[in-house]
Structure 1
Amino acid sequence: MPGAHGRGSVFLEEGDLGKAYDSKIIKRLWLFISPHKWLIIFSISLLPLVAGLQLLQPYLIKTAIDENISRGKLEGLNLIAAIFFCALIGQYLVTFLQQYLLQLSGQRIILDLRTKLFSHMQRLPLSFFDKNPVGRVVTRLTSDVEALNEMFTSGLASFIGDAFMLCGIMIAMLLLNVKLALVTLLVIPFLAVIAAFFRIKGRKAYRNIRTKTALVNSYLEENLSGIEIVRLFRREKRNFNEFQNYNRELRQANISSVFYDSFLYASVELIGSIGVAIIIWYGGGQILQKTLTFGVLVAFLEYLQKFFVPIRDLSAKYAIMQQAMAASERILKLFDEEEEDLSKGVSKVESLKGKIEFKNISFSYNKGERVIKNFSLTIQPGEKVAIVGATGAGKSTLLKLLLRFYEPDEGTILIDDVDISHLSRQWIRKNIGVVPQDIFLFAGNIEENIRLSNNSVTEKELIENIRKARADRVIEKLKLGLKESVSERGNNFSSGEKQLLSFARVLTFNPHILILDEATSNIDAETEHLIQEGLKELLKGRTSIVIAHRLSTVRYADRIAVMHHGELRELGSHEELLKRKGIYYRLYRYQGGIEEMRNQRVNL
């Protein structure tokens, strides 16, 4: 398994949360933002208008009180009420337009980002996926990208809108009454201290929540994937207790976060109430001294109420920005992974015959741990060579080197006497067909899975390939034939049926060289004969490399290469290797006993 070779990670851990704003990350994200910059700029340019319409409302109340109500003058009051109503409608319409444009630009940015990220991931080398869990890679495309969407639509824009609002309120207060404004703003230093305290403590709380959430998710995924083993070994109670421990830790982390959120909210409410008390105390005195009007006092109370609204929401906005920055850093690290160049090199070999030569090949996944050691083997055009050996002998790794999923540390691999390092990966994978051990079928229908978008094959040729692969026996049983639906990973088909369909898939692409990687393992006795017939058609006229644990499937190969601890230990025909009474002889004797027992079971 890939994990045996060392599992690294190019990503930040789930618990790592960086700054709430990082200019370096924003600069790199600008690549995705810039195509939509005018839409964003127009959307943000509406924020001062929204703030202005909101700030106008307390001033209109002040005017109505001072100019009309306090004087008992009705003239002009209807006009003020109409302007106030228009300000409310205008605020609603402009806010709607601003939010719509912002969300639209955010969705376009996320579409571009997710598309480019998926395209980039498809070009990453196989070594990347060997070292990184698929679940975490999927999280980059889903949760982390969505966190960025939250930043664009709810984080940055809200901070900018709040900045306009707070500055506007302070200017409005100073214009109305400088002394009262300065007295009112005495509470701001206390707000700054509380905000700084929350930023430090809240950051730790959010980090702890993400760490505990990641542990809960990981435990859930592992247990649900292995539910059959859990049931067989009666681990339900023990697993439940373990899950409860993780769940309690997550609850405790959330309680800590709730504590700081509640502290911030209550503190802002307290300071807001103190601010109101200051306005009433100082402003009331000014009114009694006839140096301040009642309308100004009411306007100040309205402005102060609006002043504290964005500060109350600081915790949610700060969390959005902090998580978005961490998600951005992980996404950008993924973009930094070097892509595999599929087209670099010679695009073809003239008149390909199919000769393959391994020359002194050595390879290691981790430095100092050789998986392949000084391996040399020449396979002639049209020859069928089987490679056998115990698990971990290096058989599948050898084929990954041939397909240029990895590059050898030492030695060269030649196809028709051309070093494959000079051939494009695209050409190599086009001309080498592979039937893997774990057959992967995509959700869709059978025809789509056989064609894999290869529309150059006619329907007649497709049906003929299916017949040659003996997959027609599978398709005949289905009501919809080639249009029969395939569930995720082909779970509605047996292992044998999937392998027959994979044979048809390879025949459809008609490769010059064929690799069968444990392609006949895990097959029931009834299906094996059918598969052997399909294999004869598949191997006909092609240079073939067959990897198998079950030696009964390779005895008719032209030659058999025996690998042990990454080295080529024996080479010859089935009969020659049996006469030597070496590794192959011992393997064959052992498996012969197993086959005999299987036959006895069938006879029973």
Structure 2
Amino acid sequence: MHRGPGPRGFGGVKDKPKNFKGTLKRLLSYLGPSKYQLIIVFFAAVLSTVFSIVSPKYLGKATTKIFEGLMAKMQNVPGASIDFSYIGNILLLLIGLYLFSSLFTYIQQWIMAGVTQKTVYVLRKEVDEKLSRLPLKYYDSRTHGEILSRVVNDVDNISNTLQQSLTQLISSFVTLIGVIVMMMTISIPLTLIVVLTLPLSFVITSFIIKRSQNYFAGQQKALGNLNGHVEEMFTGHQIVKAYGKEKDSIRRFNQINADLYDSGQKAQFISGIIMPLMGFVNNIGYVLVSVVGGIFVTKRTIAVGDVQAFIQYARQFSQPITQASNIANIIQSAIASAERVFQVLDEKEEVQDEHFETISEFKGEIRFEHVSFRYKENEPLINDLNIEVKAGQTIAIVGPTGAGKTTLVNLLMRFYDVQKGKITIDGIDIRDLKRQNLRKRFGMVLQDTWLFNGTIKDNIAYGKDGATDEEIIRAAKAARADHFIRTLPDGYETVLNEEASNISQGQKQLLTIARAILADPNILILDEATSSVDTRTEIVIQKAMDELMKNRTSFVIAHRLSTIRKADLILVMNHGNVIEKGTHEELLAADGFYADLYNSQFRDYGRKTG
């Protein structure tokens, strides 16, 4: 199954976020509607942190009281004892502080969970709506796995980062400020010793972040490539096995997996060394505080409990910095994901239908007037094409592969817009018609069947909103599908799996034909509609198609020329141009390109059956 060009979908250079600050700012803008909840989260974080921060101060007082009592006993001071009543009150106060700290931590986490999920809900909704507005060429140039990776993996990565990291960043900031204030109330010289390690911490963190940023972007890119490859290989596993390409598939998987390993290993290693480096810097500060604090105690300029409290604050001081450093790698990954998601949101959409007309009485007269089109700038496909189709005619389009037959249909359906000239329906330029209204006039049966995971009845009913059971069965009978459906164990309620592999290819095609019959369109497009069924079934379906095409303008793309002999007009295309046109008899009489194609098919058939 075709999933878009391989090199563009699977390979590619590992992208580095082009605008880190801009992407971060844009991501945070999605939190704007939740600003009041974020204010509550901020104050809950402040209160939780404050209750946690003041605890060491009181614990230090208890330590000082115990130390003083022990020293007095050792010095045989009359009446010396440890004031356990004072210490008990301190312990009760500490229990209360820790309980309130936990309560406000719970509040901030609970609110933040709602904010995060609402934000990601909006982001995911925007991406989904954006995908519905993107032109067909966007999907033609990318694998399904790559697109799914951006919609699912990248959005989930953003969700996890917002949930886990945002509250930690707020708490870390408040903790850092609060700890500095508490340390200054104990000893300004000791505070200076601790603060002097701060610039070194920032230098280390920023240096590592810059190195890891590119690898995190590469990790997300490689993950998308891996998803694309796995999705494509499992979708076409029968073809892979039929051609014995398992080793090639495994080799390609190993290559992409190795890229993912390389990017992931480097990203995690570089960001992972933050922790030991930060621990080293913190330990230097810890040693200096212990030595200088001990000297101050001996000189009686500071109480031993204050030193103990200060050491706790020094540990707390390093904690938010370490947390921020640890979060940095998560943020790098999230920003890389956000940029990939925003790339989808910034893709050029189909031209919006601002001013559109309606067709009150639909006849089905179609004209291609000097139409030119190319997929690639330097590779013209259709040049100055002129076709006139009368209402109710059946137009067959034939020609070799790559002649432009399917492109003609894509232009007619406005999956792509013409670059020069115009296409009109009943005299109205289709670019002046709203795409949705235009496409409702068409019914399509393609060579590549598409059925979704659901019942057979639901798949047929997809062609018409609110279709009744009687209408569904009538359409199935017209498509000669009713008999095989009723032979299935659950009949019309039979559930098709994801690839509809529990019915045959021919049966799939019968269901798509039934769906088109039920839609009752004004214009029919049949792109090799009977190519996947046997000759006997093809004859039966052709009769149903003949009935369906009565009084409808129909376009039939066919390689088997025997199926289009009754067409009102046959267009023979080659290299994007109509080189011959006429009825079957007229084209055979002309003894040109069409006659060669037709006769060659029957010569080949004769060889195979002779």
Q: TM-score, normalised by structure 2?
A: 0.90
Query: Does residue 112 of the first structure (1) align with residue 122 of the second (2)?
Result: yes
Matches within 5 A, 1:123-134: 123-134=133-144
For 2:600, the aligned partner's letter is Y
Structure 2 unmatched runs, 5+: 70-81
Q: 1:64 to 1:31 in 2, by over 3 A?
A: closer
Partners of 2:458 and 2:401 in 1: how far apart?
A: 33
The residue aligned with 2:514 is 504
Determine if contact 2:480/2:540 at 8 Å carries over to the other structure. yes
Please point out which of 180, 191, 207 is paired with 1:181.
Answer: 191
Per-residue deviation, 1:559: 1.7
The residue aligned with 1:386 is 396
Please point out which of 44, 48, 51 is paired with 1:50.
Answer: 48
For 1:104, the aligned partner's letter is G
The residue aligned with 2:525 is 515
Determine if contact 2:173/2:320 at 8 Å carries over to the other structure. no
SS in structure 2 at match of 1:490: coil
Query: Does residue 136 of the first structure (1) align with residue 165 of the second (2)?
Result: no
Per-residue deviation, 1:79: 1.6
Per-residue deviation, 1:258: 5.0
Partners of 1:500 and 1:538 in 2: how far apart?
A: 14
SS in structure 2 at match of 1:317: helix
Partners of 1:64 and 1:451 in 2: how far apart?
A: 77
Q: 1:227 to 1:452 in 2, by over 3 A?
A: closer
The residue aligned with 1:354 is 364
Query: Does residue 460 of the first structure (1) align with residue 470 of the second (2)?
Result: yes
Partners of 1:404 and 1:246 in 2: how far apart?
A: 36
The residue aligned with 2:77 is none
Q: 1:145 to 1:391 in 2, by over 3 A?
A: same
- Greater shift, 194-203 or 463-472, is seen at 194-203
Query: Does residue 265 of the first structure (1) align with residue 275 of the second (2)?
Result: yes
The residue aligned with 1:39 is 37
Per-residue deviation, 1:441: 0.8
> Percent of counterpart pairs with the same letter?
32
Determine if contact 1:2/1:130 at 8 Å carries over to the other structure. no
Per-residue deviation, 1:529: 2.4
Determine if contact 2:146/2:228 at 8 Å carries over to the other structure. no
Per-residue deviation, 1:437: 1.5
SS in structure 1 at match of 2:488: coil
Query: Does residue 87 of the first structure (1) align with residue 85 of the second (2)?
Result: no
Q: 1:253 to 1:503 in 2, by over 3 A?
A: closer
Determine if contact 2:382/2:576 at 8 Å carries over to the other structure. yes
Determine if contact 1:18/1:325 at 8 Å carries over to the other structure. no
Per-residue deviation, 1:311: 3.1
Determine if contact 2:3/2:232 at 8 Å carries over to the other structure. no
Q: 1:296 to 1:449 in 2, by over 3 A?
A: same
Please point out which of 62, 65, 87 is paired with 2:63.
Answer: 65
Query: Does residue 575 of the first structure (1) align with residue 588 of the second (2)?
Result: no
Query: Does residue 432 of the first structure (1) align with residue 442 of the second (2)?
Result: yes
Determine if contact 2:117/2:159 at 8 Å carries over to the other structure. yes
For 2:16, the aligned partner's letter is D
Per-residue deviation, 1:162: 0.8
- Greater shift, 564-573 or 144-153, is seen at 144-153
Q: 1:482 to 1:345 in 2, by over 3 A?
A: farther
The residue aligned with 2:205 is 195
Determine if contact 2:368/2:424 at 8 Å carries over to the other structure. yes
For 1:16, the aligned partner's letter is K
SS in structure 2 at match of 1:378: strand
For 1:178, the aligned partner's letter is I
SS in structure 2 at match of 1:92: helix
Matches within 5 A, 1:467-546: 467-546=477-556
Q: 1:189 to 1:344 in 2, by over 3 A?
A: closer
Per-residue deviation, 1:240: 4.9
Determine if contact 1:515/1:544 at 8 Å carries over to the other structure. yes
Determine if contact 2:169/2:324 at 8 Å carries over to the other structure. no
Per-residue deviation, 1:307: 2.1
SS in structure 2 at match of 1:46: helix
- Greater shift, 95-104 or 194-203, is seen at 194-203
SS in structure 2 at match of 1:404: coil
SS in structure 2 at match of 1:492: coil
Q: 1:78 to 1:322 in 2, by over 3 A?
A: same
Per-residue deviation, 1:597: 5.2
| Cα distance per residue 1:446-476 (max 9 Å; x no partner) | 2221222734433323322222222212322
Partners of 1:346 and 1:179 in 2: how far apart?
A: 76
Q: 1:479 to 1:586 in 2, by over 3 A?
A: same
Q: 1:249 to 1:570 in 2, by over 3 A?
A: closer
Per-residue deviation, 1:284: 0.6
Determine if contact 2:369/2:423 at 8 Å carries over to the other structure. yes
Partners of 2:563 and 2:111 in 1: how far apart?
A: 64
Partners of 2:224 and 2:233 in 1: how far apart?
A: 14
SS in structure 2 at match of 1:350: coil
| Cα distance per residue 1:497-547 (max 9 Å; x no partner) | 122211221122211111111112132234322322221222122111100
Determine if contact 1:7/1:130 at 8 Å carries over to the other structure. no
Computed over aligned residues only, the root mean square deviation of the Cα atoms, in angstroms, reads: 2.8
Query: How many residue pairs are counted as aligned between the two chains?
Result: 597
Per-residue deviation, 1:387: 0.5
Partners of 1:277 and 1:446 in 2: how far apart?
A: 74
| Cα distance per residue 1:293-343 (max 9 Å; x no partner) | 011111011112222233334454112212222222222232223433675
The residue aligned with 1:16 is 16
Per-residue deviation, 1:52: 0.7
Query: Does residue 449 of the first structure (1) align with residue 449 of the second (2)?
Result: no
Per-residue deviation, 1:272: 2.1
Determine if contact 1:401/1:408 at 8 Å carries over to the other structure. yes
Per-residue deviation, 1:175: 1.0
- Greater shift, 424-433 or 388-397, is seen at 424-433
